[in-house]
Structure 1
Amino acid sequence: MSLDYLITILKPMLEGAQMTVLLFFIAIVTSIPLGFALTLAVKSRFKLVSWLAHAYIYVMRGTPLLLQLLLICFGLPMLPVVGEYLVLDRFVAACLGFILNYAAYFAEIFRGGLLAIDKGQYEAAQVLGLNKWQTTTRIILPQMFRIALPAVANESVTLVKDTALLYAVAVPELLHFAQTAVNRDFTIVPFFVAGIIYLIMTLLLTLFFKRLEQRFKFE
């Protein structure tokens, strides 16, 4: 396989990778705080709020992400009366699906981080005279984030790979251009190139989180 051919297929695939990276950043930046908000809702003293948060997390984690994407992209516009107002741009709809799905997973990760904190930490904070806000922001949240960081890193890597599902809702991302080249040229080389690009993205993300873990380990 000539170098010229590799350059030819690499250009559109890198353009598709830009869409992949854009979706990843939008989803990760939005779903993490939303997931934390869901964690707080689960722990709410109001039973209805807690129940709704539990139900949301159960549904989003219990159904396939692909099904959720198809529902948002193609199902919502078919609803009677309000369907015409729910027609979204495919990329916007995909971002919404990823955010809603991953927020549920991050919520469970953060909940696990909170449960792992010894109750003695709360008692020690009371002895020191810290109020609830100070206890949460200065003691609980830093420990929770340190505990949850490996799981957040793993989920983030999964998110990079899941962006390939954009192909199913006709958003032109990395896998779309790889499949186009395969169909056009009758060769599987574009799939290998796409795999290498995914590996590079996940490697960079893994190195970032490893460095972040080391930083928090020594704080």
Structure 2
Amino acid sequence: MKPFKTESGIVAILDRDNVDTDAIMPKQFMKSVNKNGLGQFLFDEWRYLDQGYLGIDCQHRPLNPDFELNLPQYKNASILITRSNFDCGSSREHAPWALAEYGFKVIIAESFANIFYSNCIKNGMLLIVLNKEVINELCEEIRLKQKMEITVDLENMIIITLSKTIGFNIDPSVKHTLIHGLDDIEKTLEYADKIIKFEEKRFIDYPWII
């Protein structure tokens, strides 16, 4: 996993509460066991005017002009701002796979589903929780500028916009994981010496246990 320290990029607004897993990654794409190629199906039923399926050529599909992420000012966005309870519903990991391949590095919301939060961290994405009033102010500034870049600094836990700096909180273990780009195995290996000492002591204390 690549280390994450800062991200500067275009920010897109998905101004909706309770965006569920079926909206992020519809069920017909669950057959894929390969995370590559899922980004083109992100928000498929909102993003396109036709019915999507695995294997379809998305380059020639008709886009829904009313869907937020199809707006020209949000092209190549790497930061997503949304509302409460993002990715409620099932725990399928295809949702963070698709979001990551689409290009999102940071998602800012009022709240997230717990399993989704964990899955995103494992895929190297930073999820930030801000209160409704702060998100309202951010959205207002972005809409006034139409196309805007912001910087998310994980080390200092700040978001830098054109007009302000916003602090955020994050669990220290999550921060450590992302900054150092650690997967579950690498995090376990950080405790290798302690694990070895524990096993050696356990063998002495309980030699009949193999």
TM-score, length-normalised on structure 2?
Answer: 0.30
More strand by share: 2
TM-score, length-normalised on structure 1?
Answer: 0.29
More helix by share: 1
